[in-house]
Structure formats: C-alpha cells, structure tokens
Amino acid sequence: MATQRLRYCANFLENSKHHFAMIALQFGYAGMNIITKVSLNRGMSHYVLVVYRHAFATAVIVPFAFIFERKAQPRITFRIFMQIFILALLGPVIDQNFYYAGLKLTSPTFSCAMSNVLPAMTFIMAVLCRMEKLNMKKVRCQAKVVGTLVTVGGAMVMTLYKGPLVEMVWTKHALNQNQTNNATTNNGTTPSDKDWLIGSILLIIATLAWASLFVLQAKAIETYKNHQLSLTSLICFLGTIQAIAVTFVMEHDPSVWTIGWDMNLLAAAYAGIVTSSISYYVQGLVIKKKGPVFATAFSPLMMIIVAIMGSFILAEHIFLGGVVGAILIVIGLYSVLWGKHKEEVENKVVEDIPLPLKGAMLQSNNPDSNNISSLVINVTTEPPFKSNS
C-alpha cells in the first residue's frame, strides 16, 4: 500500500513538474515587478537599471554557453551580426527602458496586464510578415482574430479609462500600515491622469518591441537552433553595450551610476539572474516538452499575483478601468491561445498522415479528380487480397 502511494506521488510530481515550473516562474516575474517598482520609486534611473540587469544576465549566461556550446559555433556573418544587434536593440534597450518608464508612471498590476497584449501583437505582426496564414472559414482563425480584437480593446480600456477606485479588504489594511510606501510617485500621491496615459503609451511601445523581438528571433534561431545559450549571451552582451551608450546620452549626472548594497543592487541582480537568465532556461525546457501555447497560458497568473502582492506590500491602488480591461485582455488572450492550439493539433494530424495518403488528399482538391477521396477510403479499408478458402 505504501509502495503504491509513493508510486502515485512520483507519477503526480512527474506529470506536474512543468506546471509547477511555470507557476514558480510567474512568482519570479511578479517579484521582479514589485522590487523594480520600489527601486524606481526610490530614484534609481531605469536606464542604469537596464545596464546593470543585463550585465548580471551576461555574467550568468556566458559560463554555461562556454561549457555546453563552445563546439561547432555558427560563423558570425554581417547579416547574422545585424540580426543579433537589432534583437539586442529591441529587447534589452527599447523594450525594457520603455517598460520601466511606463512602470514608474503607472503600477505593477497595470504593467503586467498590458504585457498580456503580447500574444495578440505577435499574431498581428506575424500576419503582416506572412508568417501566419488566415482562413476565416475556420473557427480557429476566427477565434484568433476575435481574441486579438478583444485583447486590443481591453488594452484601450485600461489606457483611456481609469474609473473609480476599487477598494479591497486587504488594501485598507495595507494603506494603514504602509502610508509611506505608496505605489505611485515619490511624494506619496497618486499619478495624474496625464502620467497614467503617458505610462500606458510607453507600455504599449514596449510590448510592440517585445513582439518584434519574437518575430525576428524566429529567423535568428534558424542559425542558432543548437546554440541557444550562445545566442542569448550575445543578445545580453550587445544589449549591455547599447544600454551603456543610451545611458551616457540620457543621463549626464555621474552619480546615477552609484549602486550600493541596497534595493537598487537587489533589483538589478534579481532582474538579471531570475528574469533574464533562469527564466530563459526554464521556458526553453517547458516549451520543448509542452509547446509555446502551454508556456504562454500561465502569463495572466502573474497579473493576479502582482495585484495581490502590490496591494499588500505597496498599498497599490486598483481602478475599475484596470479590472475591466484586464478581464477583456485575459479573455482575448485565451481565445488567441485556443486558436493556436487547434492549429497546432491540425498541423500535427496532417504531419502524421502517410505520404501516399497525403498526396492523394492533395489531389482530391483538384476538380478533375473528384473520385480520389473515395478511392483512398476504399484502398485503406479494403484488404489487399481476399482468400478463396
């Protein structure tokens, strides 16, 4: 009996390890948003934060790339270098600088909710780049289009409509305990509607850059399909150099580079190690086993975790527009993911069809061969020869 229970627990852990990994990763992302918000509120420059974040990420990833992928490295041509250069510009520089700037003007919960627009934006860009084909006669394509529209609509609601304050039971307690740690601006007042709108636009630009990163990365992975740690190392390294150049242009006070054993160091190290190093590895393992649909489906969980943690730790204000917009974004997100899942299932079924039958099915689409389908069915169901006995 005890052996059966141990076997059952072992099977449960084996089948659920990918779920636990993605849930743990969402807690990691949620912690990054909270810690980064505190650091930005204390006056740390987001330009400097991006530099230190990717310096930590590069220092962590490079040793693993050197140990596991130092053999048969792809030759870096000018075209490949430009791809990596643009990837570093889109991700570490544009995406994260705009994201941190938007986070500083809004709130962690709002920023996480806006990040859920990523699958819809990626889908739109894939269609424009002809990487995604649409057949509106199929339900899965209709689900992807409707989900994209609903997701964009939710983002617009969150951007243009703030609404009244939604008071939670734990929010009142947090407000009494953390008056000085208000999750808004440095002076303890809520951000103005103008700041909220500017922050929303910055977050949309950051998400657009992130979506562009995924589209371009699909081409770069063709070269580095067996050297993904090396590709990540190069992106983080070039991103660090580009971020340093941007910081020198935008920040003229040398004191902004000062970092001690405080929250600023924790925010940079945590973001670099957890959300730019460990997350890449864990997501790669999960996507390899379960696919990208499974991995992306956990992203709304981060928004819920951040909302609860932000209310407790930062006394963050939650507004009606954010709640309504977040619900629309989650509905649209799962509609897009459902359509992508159905598409993957259909493609897998087609790939599993034997080549002779696949050729016959293709010929059946020709108007001159209307009887091919029935011929295929007869060939597959009838035995090849009958016995006279």
d(CA 94, CA 90): 5
The mean of the pLDDT values for the chain is: 76
pLDDT, tens only, 277-326: 787 777 767 766 776 656 666 777 777 777 777 767 766 677 788 788 88
Rounded mean pLDDT, 120-133: 76
Structure tokens at 46: 């987001």
Task: For the chain, give the percent of residues with pLDDT over 90.
Answer: 10
d(CA 70, CA 208): 33
Q: What is the dihedral of CA 276, 278, 280, 282, to 10 degrees?
A: -160
Residue 165 pairs in a beta bridge with 319
pLDDT at 362 over 60: no
Structure tokens at 64: 């693993």
Burial pattern 169-198, b for ≥16 Cβ within 10 A else e, equals eebeebeeeeeeebbbeeeeebbeeeebbb
Residue with tokens 């527009």: 321
What pLDDT score was predicted for residue 332? 82
Neighbours of 219 (CB within 10 A): 13
pLDDT, tens only, 202-235: 998 998 888 888 778 777 777 887 887 888 889 8
Which stretch, 168-172, 311-315, 338-342, has highest mean pLDDT? 338-342
pLDDT, tens only, 24-59: 888 888 888 888 888 888 888 989 999 999 999 999
Residue with tokens 């925010």: 267
What pLDDT score was predicted for residue 56? 92
Distant-in-sequence, close-in-space partners of 133: CB < 8 Å, separation ≥ 6: none
pLDDT at 377 over 60: no
Residue 349 vs residues 88, 133, 140, 345, 346: alpha-carbon distances, Å: 37, 18, 15, 6, 5
Cα angle, residue 29 at apex, residues 206 and 310 outer, rounded to 5°: 95
Q: Are strands 318-319 and 165-166 parallel, antiparallel or unpaired?
A: antiparallel
With beta carbons less than 8 A apart as the criterion, state whether 168 and 311 touch: yes
Residue 172 pLDDT level (bands cut at 50, 70, 90): low
Residue 268 identity (one-letter amino acid): A
What pLDDT score was predicted for residue 370? 46
Neighbours of 371 (CB within 10 A): 10
pLDDT at 372 over 60: no
* pTM of the shown model: 0.70
What pLDDT score was predicted for residue 369? 44
Residue 374 pLDDT level (bands cut at 50, 70, 90): very low
Residue 319 pairs in a beta bridge with 165
Rounded mean pLDDT, 100-111: 84
With beta carbons less than 8 A apart as the criterion, state whether 111 and 29 touch: no
Rounded mean pLDDT, 381-386: 40
